[in-house]
């Protein structure tokens, strides 16, 4: 059996894929397991023993004709197309393709690499070019995961769901030679690793803030601090080095290969960073991490997983005092009782322990009710119910149109109205955000409807809108139920009544 | 150099998109069209404010 896992995202997502790759190899021990990644990030697969072959997506070769030929577009595009075409033809013999990338490009790629015998999980395309989401885990991702949404399942766990594997503790184990690799750095017995950078500016503290935190931390006064990072972070690291009082600093920013980080981080007492790729190496090495997380990042999805890690999320990096961050950092280093503002990581297989109320607690409970069968939460304000009343009215209009879509009639008018209902539901959700999980579920399930006869699509939509109404009825009571007064116009449709 | 590449890729994105849309209008979507759509999306990911992350998140 040949399995291809497509992971076209960056370092953090690739490292978050490691446990699933181990689990896939455990589930299919005789399979050939290949992973496709972008060339500039595929180093993050070095040392991943479960993988038989790393396939680099040749983006440089694909773009070279376009960038080299300038205005000679026609020829340049033809050459780029040929490179892409050859690449697809070379890699289209897989029995199972699992796309863990969730991007439009990856969905087209998945479709083009699969054949009639390929089992596909993750985003792909229907034959008519529309997005196809064949598995429930990817549909959940589409509906509920990301910034401004309320998912709290970690990416590691979502990836495993898409791969259809149940993670075990052993799936987190990495080849010991990675951690035992001998490096010629003067590392002391107990040291702390600090990564000051991240892939995007909004995720990082500025150098003055870092220096101030390190100067105010009592727990770090006597510890060796090992600064790691990429080439482009070297100047910042040098500046921080000049600003901090602790002179027991080993600054090796820009000097390490990515696979060296397993040894450096794996043998450290702890790891400190914002939301960065090496934090995921700490998770794989079971090195506890103090993660200073930006409000623009969903730490629930991408935070540290090593036991005893702590997450301190900050709404605005500019306004929070460095003394406060240093206080929580010291609490982490000394393993003292955590302040309730800090999120705790108790193990790599359990949910985070969050001791304080969060704005989106209600939405998360709603998600658990929709997808896991938990009880529907009691709303804590009337806005939610008011919004549901509006959604119910809109849903009634949608049901009315769907029941009226007799195959003998021109249904373009009905379709226009249904589109308008979708837009208005978005507007309601935009105003009352707590309704977002419900509407996102409905819209996603509609996206999943396969192309086909109008009658079949209408039936599918009817089922979904009726299910949606059932949920609204839980909150609004039986008077919100839709009574179909248009049964004579059903035209053979087997819809809900 | 970076600015030049950005400009070239931006123009390339527009033209490849036009090519794909033309194919969609001329015939039912097939693998050839899908490949052009893939090329378009790959170029789009290289443009400023886009990134190769999980972009639908």
Considering only CA atoms, which of A458, A461, A481 is closest in space to residue A470?
A: A481
Residue A494 has pLDDT above 60, yes or no: no
Considering only CA atoms, which of A378, A358, A356 is closest in space to residue A366?
A: A378
With an 8 Å Cβ cutoff, are B16 and A10 in contact?
no
Is A101 in the B-facing interface, judged by CB distances under 8 Å? yes
Highest mean pLDDT among A134-143, A287-296, A412-421: A134-143
**At B51, is the pLDDT very low, low, confident or very high (cuts 50, 70, 90)?**
low
Residues on chain B touching A13 (C-beta within 8 angstroms): 53-54
| Range A111-116 contact pairs with CB under 8 angstroms and sequence separation of 24 or more | A111/B34, A112/A88, A112/B31, A112/B34, A112/B35, A112/B38, A113/A4, A113/A6, A113/A88
Name the more confident of A360 and A406: A360
A196-224 average pLDDT score: 88
The helix (H) or strand (E) run that includes residue A272 is strand A270-273
SS3 call for A374: coil
Q: Which of B8, B19, B53 lies nearest to residue A10, judging by beta carbons?
A: B53
Considering only CA atoms, which of A8, A27, A26 is closest in space to residue A17?
A: A8
pLDDT by residue (tens digit) across A215-262? 999 999 889 999 999 999 999 999 999 999 888 999 999 999 988 999
Write down the pLDDT at residue A495: 37
Q: Which of B39, B55, B56 lies nearest to residue A84, judging by beta carbons?
A: B39
A83-111 average pLDDT score: 97
Residue A199 has pLDDT above 80, yes or no: no
| A198 and A293 Cβ atoms separated by less than 8 Å | no
A363-392 average pLDDT score: 95
Residue A70 has pLDDT above 70, yes or no: no
Determine which of A62-71, A223-232, A263-272 has the lowest per-residue pLDDT on average. A62-71
Residues on chain A touching B24 (C-beta within 8 angstroms): 129
Question: Rounded to whole angstroms, how far apart are CA atoms A252 and A183?
Answer: 12
**At A377, is the pLDDT very low, low, confident or very high (cuts 50, 70, 90)?**
very high
- pTM: predicted TM-score of the whole model, two decimal places: 0.91
Calculated CA dihedral for residues B35, A74, A86, B1, nearest 10 degrees: -100
Question: Rounded to whole angstroms, how far apart are CA atoms A220 and A326?
Answer: 10
Write down the pLDDT at residue A71: 66
**At B56, is the pLDDT very low, low, confident or very high (cuts 50, 70, 90)?**
very low
SS3 call for A195: strand
| A435 and A387 Cβ atoms separated by less than 8 Å | yes
**Mean per-residue pLDDT over chain A, rounded:** 91
What ipTM was reported for this prediction? 0.87
Name the more confident of A426 and A380: A426
A146-170 average pLDDT score: 94
Write down the pLDDT at residue A254: 94
With an 8 Å Cβ cutoff, are B16 and A77 in contact?
yes
- Portion of chain A with pLDDT greater than 70, in percent: 96
pLDDT by residue (tens digit) across B16-44? 888 888 888 888 889 999 999 999 999 99
**SS3 of A251-266:** ECCCCCCCCHHHHHHH
Determine which of A10-19, A110-119, A172-181, B47-56 has the lowest per-residue pLDDT on average. B47-56
Write down the pLDDT at residue A491: 39
With an 8 Å Cβ cutoff, are A102 and B45 in contact?
no
Write down the pLDDT at residue B49: 65
The helix (H) or strand (E) run that includes residue A132 is strand A131-132
Is A85 in the B-facing interface, judged by CB distances under 8 Å? yes
Q: Which of A77, A81, A105 lies nearest to residue B41, judging by beta carbons?
A: A105
With an 8 Å Cβ cutoff, are A59 and B42 in contact?
yes
> What single DSSP character describes residue A37?
E
**At A205, is the pLDDT very low, low, confident or very high (cuts 50, 70, 90)?**
confident
Residue A65 has pLDDT above 80, yes or no: yes
């Amino acid at each position: 059996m040949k399995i291809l896992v497509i992971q076209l995202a960056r370092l953090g997502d690739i490292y978050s894929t490691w446990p699933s790759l181990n689990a896939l190899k455990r589930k299919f021990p005789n399979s050939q397991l290949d992973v496709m990644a972008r060339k500039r990030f595929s180093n993050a697969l070095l040392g991943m023993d479960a993988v038989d072959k790393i396939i680099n997506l040749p983006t440089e070769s694909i773009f070279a004709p376009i960038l080299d030929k300038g205005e000679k577009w026609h020829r340049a595009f033809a050459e780029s197309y040929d490179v892409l075409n050859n690449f697809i033809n070379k890699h289209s013999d897989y029995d199972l393709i699992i796309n863990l990338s969730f991007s439009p490009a990856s969905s087209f790629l998945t479709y083009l690499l699969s054949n009639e015998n390929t089992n596909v999980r993750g985003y792909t395309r229907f034959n008519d070019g529309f997005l196809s989401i064949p598995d429930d885990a990817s549909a959940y991702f589409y509906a509920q995961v990301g910034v401004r949404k309320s998912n709290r399942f970690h990416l590691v766990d979502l990836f495993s769901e898409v791969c259809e594997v149940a993670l075990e503790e052993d799936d987190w184990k990495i080849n010991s030679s990675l951690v035992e690799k001998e490096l010629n750095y003067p590392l002391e017995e107990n040291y702390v690793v600090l990564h000051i950078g991240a892939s995007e500016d909004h995720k990082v503290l500025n150098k003055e803030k870092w220096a101030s935190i390190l100067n105010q931390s009592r727990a770090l006064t006597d510890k060796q601090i090992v600064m790691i990072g990429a080439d482009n972070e070297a100047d910042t690291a040098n500046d921080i080095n000049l600003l901090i009082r602790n002179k027991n600093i080993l600054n090796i920013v820009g000097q390490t290969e990515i696979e060296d980080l397993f040894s450096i981080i794996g043998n450290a007492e702890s790891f400190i960073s914002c939301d960065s790729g090496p934090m995921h190496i700490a998770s794989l090495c079971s090195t506890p991490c103090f993660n200073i997380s930006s409000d623009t990042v969903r730490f629930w999805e991408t935070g540290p997983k090593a036991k005893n890690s702590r997450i301190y999320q900050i709404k605005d990096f500019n306004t929070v005092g460095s003394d406060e961050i240093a206080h929580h950092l010291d609490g982490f280093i000394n393993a003292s009782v955590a302040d309730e503002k800090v999120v705790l990581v108790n193990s790599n297989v359990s949910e985070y322990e969050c001791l304080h109320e969060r704005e989106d607690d209600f939405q998360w409970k709603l998600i658990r009710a929709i997808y896991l069968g938990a009880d529907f939460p009691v709303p804590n304000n009337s806005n939610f119910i008011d919004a549901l009343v509006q959604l119910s009215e809109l849903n009634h209009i949608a049901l009315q149109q769907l029941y009226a879509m007799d195959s003998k009639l021109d249904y373009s008018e009905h379709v226009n109205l249904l589109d308008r209902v979708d837009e208005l539901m978005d507007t309601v959700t935009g105003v009352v955000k707590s309704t977002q999980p419900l509407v996102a579920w409905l819209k996603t399930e509609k996206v999943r409807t396969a192309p086909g006869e109008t009658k079949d699509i209408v039936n599918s939509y009817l089922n979904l809108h009726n299910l949606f109404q059932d949920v609204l009825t839980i909150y609004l009571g039986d008077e919100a139920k839709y009574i179909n007064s248009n049964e004579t116009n059903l035209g053979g449709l087997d819809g809900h009544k | 150099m970076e600015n030049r590449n950005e400009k070239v890729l931006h123009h390339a994105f527009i033209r490849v998109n036009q090519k794909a849309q033309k194919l969609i209008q001329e015939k039912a979507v097939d693998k050839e069209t899908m490949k052009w759509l893939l090329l378009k999306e790959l170029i789009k990911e290289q443009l400023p404010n886009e990134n190769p992350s999980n972009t639908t998140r």
